[in-house]
Amino acid sequence: MWRESVVKIADDMGALACSIVPAHPWVYGLGQNTDSGGYLSPANAVGYLAKKLLSGSGGGSGDVIVMMVAENTHDAFMQGLNKLSTVFPAPVFTQVSRMAAAAAELSTVKMQLPVKADVLPASAPLSVSTNRLALNAQRVAAAQLAAAVSTTTTDLKNQVTGFIQERAGLLASLSQGLDDLKAASANIFSFSYSGSYAVAAAELLKGIPQTTAVHTAAMMFIGDSLSDLGKMLHEPDRITRS
């Protein structure tokens, strides 16, 4: 179901692989591009994603997550995209952010060509810099712990001590960077479903949020298990969304 969510980095995320389908004004044939920029409604974006899911999933089942930014003004859209790109710098969001910024300054915008095949993209490792930072911090900490518990001789203990000292700066830097990322957040609309892809496609079309918006960018993630990605989605505080 659709809901308002706050995206925050999760430091205990694991590696995952999934298919990704973007929907934004510069997907060929989807949005409306004019001299003043690119326009796309949430209904058209979600309809496109539902069609892709229904036609390309082969009747399978699994997890589906959609992250969407939808706003009525270009400034609000850019603000939402920039915040989301900071917390979750997936290539599509960063690219759309750059294209939307360029559209505000240029009279024409070069359109991107989509994948023409009516199938879901091949499953591939999902890797963005914030997730990699969290994973690297865990790996460094795990390596330190493994080295510390394996010492059995004075020489080995001395080597491990040197290793820990040399890595302390790196770990401190990673930890600080992760703390900074964990403090950042972005407001989005999200959709989550686990089960039949055919049912998920139907549910996507129910209760589409922010229907009057004219600026929309979304990403749909499809995979056997997206629980680690779901850890980034949180319920917002009881504060009116700006």
What are the tens digits of pLDDT across the range 226-238? Answer: 998 998 898 887 4
Residue 211's H or E segment, with its range, is none
Domain boundaries, the chain: 2-125+186-234, 130-180
Point out which residues pair with 80 in neighbouring strands.
Answer: none
Q: When comparing pLDDT for 36 and 108, which is higher?
A: 36
Written as six digits, the tokens of 93 are: 């969001």
Residues 6+ apart with CB under 8 A from 70: 42, 45, 189, 209, 210, 213, 215, 216, 218
pLDDT of 8 strictly over 50: yes
Strand order in the sheet with 124-125: 124-125, 17-23, 215-223, 61-71, 186-196, 2-7, 233-234
pLDDT of 5 strictly over 70: yes
Which residue, among 133, 140, 135, 139, has the nearest Cα to 169 in the 3D structure?
140
pLDDT-wise least confident of 22-26, 138-142, 182-186: 138-142
Predicted local distance difference test score (pLDDT) of residue 174 = 61
Confidence of residue 197 (pLDDT cuts 50, 70, 90): very high
Amino acid making up residue 113 = L
Predicted local distance difference test score (pLDDT) of residue 134 = 73
Stretch 92-104: mean pLDDT: 78
How far apart are the C-alpha atoms of 36 and 102, rounded to whole Å? Answer: 10
Stretch 51-56: mean pLDDT: 89
In the chain, count of helices (H) and strands (E)? Answer: 7, 9
pLDDT of 200 strictly over 80: yes
C-alpha distances in angstroms, 215 versus 31, 75, 166, 189, 201? 9, 10, 48, 13, 22
How far apart are the C-alpha atoms of 163 and 143, rounded to whole Å? Answer: 10
Predicted local distance difference test score (pLDDT) of residue 188 = 94
Question: Which range scores top for mean pLDDT: 43-47, 148-152, 181-185, 224-228?
Answer: 43-47
